[in-house]
C-alpha cells in the first residue's frame, strides 16, 4: 500500500512527506505505547497512534518506521514536523478514530504484525 | 572513535538526541541497517531511562571495526533489584513518563534483546551504569 492510498482511504491530510513516494507499506501496528513499538522487527510498517509528542517521532526514527498516522485529528507541534522531515518520516493526520483507521487499512490489505 | 553525550533528567523534549546522533554516525560508517536498528533501539531505551528516572547522565560511545561499546552512566536513584527490573512488565515509572508512551516495564528486557552483551551495575541512591556491546558484523 502506498502513501496516496493511505491518505485517500483515511480521508486524511498529509502533514509532511511526499504523497507520491514509491515506498510500499505491508504492515500496520496501532499503539500509544512507544515501548511496544520499539520491540517490533518488521520493515515497511505504518504506525497508527493517538499519541502526539516528539517521542513518537524519535521512536519512529530509531525503529526505521517511515510513516506515522495520527488519529482523531490530533494536532502536531512544529518540533514534531521538523524532526519528521529531518528523518524522512511521512506524517498523516486523519479525523478517524484509531478503531476505524485500523479497520479501513486492514480491509484494504495492510497486514498485522502479530 | 569516541563520542560523548550528556543527558538531562526529566527533559523529554531532548530525549533521543544522543541516539539520533549515533544513528547518523553508524549510517555514515555503512553499518548494516538491521544492526543499526538494534543498536539505536537499545540506546534510545537507555537514554529514555535516564530522562525518566535519573537527574543526569552521560553516554560514552566507542566504535572500532568489530563492535560498538556504549556506556550509559547516570546519577540517580539506582536500581535496588536488577533481576526484578529485568522482568517484563515491572516498572517504577511516573505518570508523566507513561504519558510520553513509556514506563510499561519493557525497556531493560528490550535492551537485552537488542544487544550482544549487556552489563548493569547499580548503586542505590547514587546511580546506574549500563554497558552495551554489539558486534557490527
- The torsion angle over the Cα atoms of residues A58, A59, A61 and A66, rounded to 10 degrees, is -120
Quote the pLDDT of residue B80: 94
Measured distance CA(B131)–CA(A36) in Å, rounded = 23
Closest C-alpha to B19, from A33, A38, A76? A38
C-alpha cell at B133: 556491546
B20·A58 Cβ contact <8 A? yes
Question: In the Cβ-directed half-sphere of A77, how many Cα atoms lie within 13 Å?
Answer: 11
**Could you give the C-alpha distances from B6 to A30, A43, A46, A76, B72, in angstroms and in order?**
32, 31, 32, 27, 10
Interface test with A, best of B18, B20, B41 (most A CBs within 10 A): B41
Q: Are strands B117-123 and A13-16 parallel, antiparallel or unpaired?
A: unpaired
**Cα nearest neighbour of A86 on chain B:** B20
Quote the pLDDT of residue B3: 98
Closest C-alpha to B134, from B45, B61, B28? B61
b/e string for A45-74 if b means 16 or more Cβ within 10 A?
bbbbbbbbbbbbbbbbbbbbbbbbbbbeee
Quote the pLDDT of residue A73: 86
Interface test with B, best of A38, A49, A86 (most B CBs within 10 A): A38
Quote the pLDDT of residue B68: 98
C-alpha cell at B5: 553525550
Q: What are phi and psi of B43, to 5 degrees?
A: -65, -45
Edge-to-edge strand list for the sheet holding B56-63 = B2-8, B56-63, B67-75, B127-135, B117-123
Q: Does residue B137 have a pLDDT over 90?
A: no
Residues from chain A contacting residue B101 (CB–CB below 8 Å): 32-35, 37, 51, 53, 55-56, 59
Measured distance CA(B42)–CA(B38) in Å, rounded = 6
Quote the pLDDT of residue B76: 96
> What domain range includes position B64?
2-135
- If you ran DSSP here, which 8-state letter would residue B29 be given? T
Q: pLDDT higher for B29 or A74?
A: B29
Q: Provide the residue ranges of all domains of chain A, joining segments of one domain with +.
A: 3-112
For the segment B42-52, what is each residue's pLDDT rounded down to a tens digit? Answer: 999 999 999 99
* CATH number, domain A3-112: 3.40.1390.20
Q: Does residue B67 have a pLDDT over 90?
A: yes
Quote the pLDDT of residue B73: 98
A63·B104 Cβ contact <8 A? no
Residues 5-64 of A with CB under 8 A from B: 32-39, 51, 53-56, 58-59, 61-64
A61·B101 Cβ contact <8 A? no
CATH number, position B71: 3.30.565.10
A113 has a chain B CB within 8 A of its CB? no
- If you ran DSSP here, which 8-state letter would residue B63 be given? E
Quote the pLDDT of residue A110: 97
For the segment B113-126, what is each residue's pLDDT rounded down to a tens digit? Answer: 999 999 999 999 99
Quote the pLDDT of residue B39: 98
Q: Mark the ranges of chain A whose per-residue pLDDT is less than 70.
A: none
Q: What are phi and psi of A45, to 5 degrees?
A: -115, 140
Q: Structurally, how many domains does chain B consist of?
A: 1
Quote the pLDDT of residue A75: 85
Measured distance CA(A9)–CA(B20) in Å, rounded = 32
**Could you give the C-alpha distances from A22 to A28, A109, B43, in angstroms and in order?**
17, 17, 30
Amino acid at each position: 500500500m502506498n502513501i496516496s492510498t493511505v491518505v485517500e482511504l483515511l480521508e486524511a491530510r498529509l502533514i509532511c512527506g511526499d504523497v507520491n513516494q514509491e515506498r510500499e507499506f505491508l504492515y500496520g501496528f496501532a499503539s500509544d505505547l512507544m515501548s511496544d513499538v520499539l520491540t517490533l522487527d518488521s520493515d515497511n510498517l505504518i504506525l497508527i497512534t493517538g499519541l502526539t509528542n516528539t517521542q513518537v517521532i524519535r521512536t519512529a526514527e530509531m525503529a526505521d518506521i517511515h510513516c506515522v498516522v495520527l488519529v482523531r485529528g490530533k494536532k502536531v507541534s512544529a518540533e514534531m514536523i521538523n524532526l519528521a522531515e529531518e528523518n524522512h518520516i511521512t506524517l498523516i493526520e486523519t479525523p478517524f478514530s484509531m478503531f476505524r483507521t485500523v479497520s479501513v487499512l486492514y480491509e484494504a490489505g495492510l497486514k498485522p504484525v502479530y | 572513535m569516541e563520542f560523548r553525550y550528556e543527558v538531562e533528567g526529566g527533559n523529554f523534549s531532548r530525549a533521543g538526541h544522543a541516539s539520533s546522533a549515533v544513528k547518523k554516525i553508524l549510517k555514515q560508517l555503512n553499518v548494516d541497517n538491521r544492526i543499526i536498528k538494534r543498536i539505536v533501539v537499545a540506546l534510545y531505551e537507555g537514554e529514555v531511562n535516564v530522562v525518566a528516572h535519573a537527574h543526569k547522565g552521560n553516554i560514552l560511545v566507542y566504535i572500532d571495526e568489530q563492535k560498538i561499546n556504549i556506556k550509559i552512566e547516570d546519577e540517580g536513584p539506582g536500581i535496588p533489584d536488577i533481576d526484578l527490573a529485568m522482568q517484563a512488565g515491572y516498572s517504577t515509572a511516573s505518570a508523566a513518563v507513561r504519558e510520553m508512551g513509556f514506563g510499561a516495564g519493557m525497556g531493560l528486557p528490550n535492551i537485552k534483546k537488542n544487544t550482544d552483551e549487556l552489563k548493569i551495575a547499580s548503586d542505590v541512591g547514587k546511580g546506574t551504569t549500563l554497558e552495551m556491546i554489539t558486534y557490527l558484523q
